[in-house]
Amino acid sequence: MISAFKTPKEEFIQLMTENCRFNGLDEISSEVIALLYASPDEISLEELSKKTGYSLSAICMATKLIERIGLIKRIKKPGSRKAYFYMEKNMSVFSLDLIKRKYEKIIIPTKKKLPLIISKYKREKSEKARQELKIIENYYKEVVISEKIVKNIIEMIKKVRKTENEEEYN
């Protein structure tokens, strides 16, 4: 429950933290994402540690995870040795980046590798191999369906962004 004694920023960060946790992220990663999203500027590891109350090593581990997922970006500032982090604020750009990454890093390689795996399975003679082959062939079908869905979502986001940009300039 949101307390009446919190600032609007604190309430927003709490809401974002809850949303991230609902999506399967741990408490530290969720708080880091919420803080980065609410901040107009990039934030250093030290600042994130100070603002969350978590240790520098815990924040470092969390930022590595969420950076690898593609939710945040690491930035180096000229003349500084510190690592700074930033999160895209435009949700459609953010969503488009995540979906494109999934398409390029998961769907395309999987679609390329599975036919070879399936052909190797077809040479197997055991009943267990035939059962496994059915599972893998079904997985391949699901990957092909996912590819169509992801392509449609990418096109839809691009159209919405184009419409938003056109409306912005009219």
pTM: 0.72
Is residue 105 located within the same domain as residue 155?
yes
Nearest of 10, 3, 61, 6 to residue 35 by alpha carbon: 10
Is residue 63 located within the same domain as residue 111?
no
64 and 38 Cβ atoms separated by less than 8 Å? no
Nearest of 56, 47, 54, 45 to residue 27 by alpha carbon: 54
Reply yes or no on whether the pLDDT at 113 is more than 90: yes
Helix residue spans in the chain (DSSP H):
8-22, 27-38, 45-52, 56-69, 91-102, 108-122, 127-168
User: Is position 3 within any domain?
Assistant: no
Residue 167 corresponds to which tokens in the numbers above? 């409306």
Nearest of 68, 65, 63 to residue 42 by alpha carbon: 63
Per-residue confidence (pLDDT) for residue 92, from 0 to 100: 81
User: Is position 163 within any domain?
Assistant: yes
Residue 166 corresponds to which tokens in the numbers above? 């056109």
Share of the chain above pLDDT 90, in %: 71
Per-residue pLDDT tens over the stretch 13-46: 999 999 999 988 999 999 999 999 999 999 999 9
**What is the extent of the structural domain holding 143?**
91-168
Is residue 82 located within the same domain as residue 96?
no
Q: What CATH code is carried by the domain that includes residue 15? A: 1.10.10.10
State mean pLDDT over 79-94.
Answer: 88
Last residue of a domain, one of 86, 119, 154: 86
Residue 50 binned pLDDT confidence (cut-offs 50, 70, 90): very high
Is residue 64 located within the same domain as residue 95?
no
Last residue of a domain, one of 54, 86, 118: 86
Q: Which residues contact 79 (CB under 8 A, 6 or more apart)?
A: none
State mean pLDDT over 115-125.
Answer: 95
Q: Which amino acid is at 29?
A: S
Tell me the β-bridge partners of 84.
44, 75
43 and 62 Cβ atoms separated by less than 8 Å? no
Q: What is the DSSP letter of 52?
A: H
